[in-house]
Amino acid sequence: MLSGFSEGYWLHVKWFIGEEEGHPLPMAEVLSGPFWLWFAVTMAGLLITAIFNEPLQRFGLIARLHHTLDRFKAYVPIILRVGLALSLVMQIATHSFLAPELAADAWWIIALQAIALAALIWGRTMPIAGAALAVLYGYAIYQYGWFHALDYMFYVGIIYYLVIHRTYASSSATPVLYFTLGFSLAWAGLEKMTMPELSYGIVQQYAVPTFGFSVEHFVLISAFIELGLAWSLIVGILNRFVSILVTLVFIATTTVFGFTEIVGHTIIHALLLMFIIEGEGALRTPFQFHRSPVLRYSFVLVNFCVLLFGLMALYITLGS
């Protein structure tokens, strides 16, 4: 079931639709009866995970697993450097930058990628790699616009991590990575929610099993799953478990969609491996901000609504 679902909801449509264009539906059309049904199911799922977040952490086997993973935290920066280096090599080989569909059509783009790659060799030169990536991300915004560039918001987190590594602000790197990767996953979920026709074609083209659901319901369910997992990463609910789940799903999609998925997801695999090892990080997560359980659960649910409807309004505005 996991691999089947993954083929639907972790497919990044823009990598496969070529020159075909789409525009988000008006919010009134998105907020249909099925939307409210799966919205309610998602809210219930988030409430359950919030309630069981801390009890599960104290469970003997899980507590020992956390303790074991904590021993590898010193290797987290190396994982980022290696994962980013592999991603850059594949991007250079495929004449792309940042993502498979962004064309590296100028010599200076390749030069910046090479500079970033070389700067990753030494820990002290990581800020240079961050600066090179910042220029590339800025160019992506200029060339493709915010609507497209926000798909890859996680690069902002990577740039921040590279620049502030070994500084007094280094403890803030993990929360920023959680937020930016979660934002990217949520933005991809909104693509399926507000431009479902694009996903319908991909599901049908690759004969993705929908487990008895109609294609329309399956794509909507996939979008809500993606948004729910994104919010879990952002607020700090079951971070390691969610990271493992997303990693397994990405591995499954590679068996269906091939090398394009490898090029696009290698850097995300590195980030997820970092999350699996790092856990919640050194700072309090947003979920831990309130001491009262009731306030914590309310925080998760209310702010998920803010995330969903606020980002949806922004997505429709930029996409139109």
* Residue found under tokens 């659901």: 213
Structural domain tally of the chain? 1
Alpha helices (runs of H) in the chain, residue ranges in sequence order: 2-9, 27-30, 33-58, 60-70, 76-93, 107-119, 126-144, 146-149, 154-164, 173-194, 196-205, 215-235, 239-257, 259-278, 293-319
Residue 15 binned pLDDT confidence (cut-offs 50, 70, 90)? low
Is 315 a member of any domain? yes
pTM over 0.75: yes
Work out the mean pLDDT of the chain and round it to a whole number.
Answer: 87
Chain centroid to CA 224:
14
Is 134 a member of any domain? yes
Segment 57-85 shows an average pLDDT of: 90
Is 24 a member of any domain? no
* pLDDT value at residue 62: 85
By percentage, how much of the chain surpasses pLDDT 70? 90
Q: Confirm if 300 and 46 have CB atoms less than 8 A apart.
A: yes
Is 264 a member of any domain? yes
* Residue found under tokens 């990753």: 120
Is 141 a member of any domain? yes
Is 149 a member of any domain? yes
* pLDDT value at residue 237: 92
Q: Of 199, 185, 182, 214, which is closest to residue 34 (Cα–Cα)? A: 214
Is 23 a member of any domain? no
DSSP state of 17: S
* pLDDT value at residue 7: 36
Beta bridge partners of 103: 96
Which structural domain, as residue segments, surrounds residue 285?
2-17+31-319
131-158 residue pLDDT tens: 999 999 999 999 989 998 999 999 999 9
Is 95 a member of any domain? yes
Q: Of 73, 27, 94, which is closest to residue 262 (Cα–Cα)? A: 94
159-196 residue pLDDT tens: 999 999 988 888 899 999 999 999 999 999 999 999 88
* pLDDT value at residue 112: 97
How many Å apart are CA 179 and CA 189, to the nearest integer?
Answer: 15
